[in-house]
Amino acid sequence: MATIVGGLAVSHVPAIGNAIANHREGEPYWKPFFDGFPAARAWLDRVKPDLAVVLYNDHGLNFFLDKLPTFAVGAAPEYCNADEGWGLPVLAPFAGDRDLSWHIIEHLVAQEFDLTTCQEMLVDHAFCIPMELFWPQGAPPPAVPVAINTVQHPLPSPRRCFRLGQAIGRAIETYDKDLKVVVIATGGLSHQLEGERAGFINRDFDQMCLEALATDPSPLTALSSLDLVEQAGSQGVELLMWIAMRGAMTGQVSRVHQHYHIPISNTAAALLVLENTPVA
């Protein structure tokens, strides 16, 4: 049976991808951010996941405002990247795992989640940058992308996203292949890119979120999506992916590593590593 070894959560600001492409990791502006990643990579080297389920939000590369599903799951043999206009290099395709994708899709539909199933799917910086951060030498494991709408209101609630994560976790646990799976969430934390609150960052709320995700997520699932906008900014709703990742942790959860740095391109950039120990 498949085993969930843990969860990772990380920011996905496009400027991070440019810093990687231009080898700026050691510069004074960037070094405090990149210094958080050796511990996460060491954990990945220890647990050696065979596959990643990546919870992310599309920024218009694959979906747009005219057609934007609440939840979409990839079921393709590979996932291509494309030019988004940020000046980021276009990366080689990422390998998929259609068998696990369909297993998750069938399980979620049986749990009454209405999904968009994508047998072709482009992935943008929200998917690609975490893969580069966690596997800087390339060769990340095959992945199943799960896109969550954080753009077009009405948004799914934190509780609904947590339950989506729980259903994904149960699906993985019932998969009949011997695989170690890591669940990755991308986005956030607090930030707002437009309007009167442009540049808004809420450090206290971010720290509360990191603690709740590691210990007790119930304060987060009690919030509404509009609460997230108020507390974390209009783009801070990307916390929905982090909440879904926490829901997928089906065992005993322990915090391995946490890193927080502000700001990176007007964003509170954070990293969280959780280990999931199955309960006998």
Number of neighbouring beta carbons within 10 Å of residue 97 = 25
Nearest-angstrom CA–CA distance, 136 and 130: 10
Structure tokens given for 55: 């919870």
- The answer to whether 56 and 244 have CB atoms below 8 angstroms apart is no
d(CA 175, CA 169): 10
List C-alpha distances in Å: 94 to 3, 58, 62, 80, 211.
22, 16, 15, 6, 32
* Residue 125 known to be catalytic: yes
Give the C-alpha separation, 154 to 152, whole Å: 6
The catalytic residue among 12, 103, 107, 125 is: 125
Point out the catalytic residue in the list 12, 103, 191, 261: 191
Residue 78 · residue 96 · CB < 8 Å: yes
Q: Catalytic residue numbers? A: 125, 191
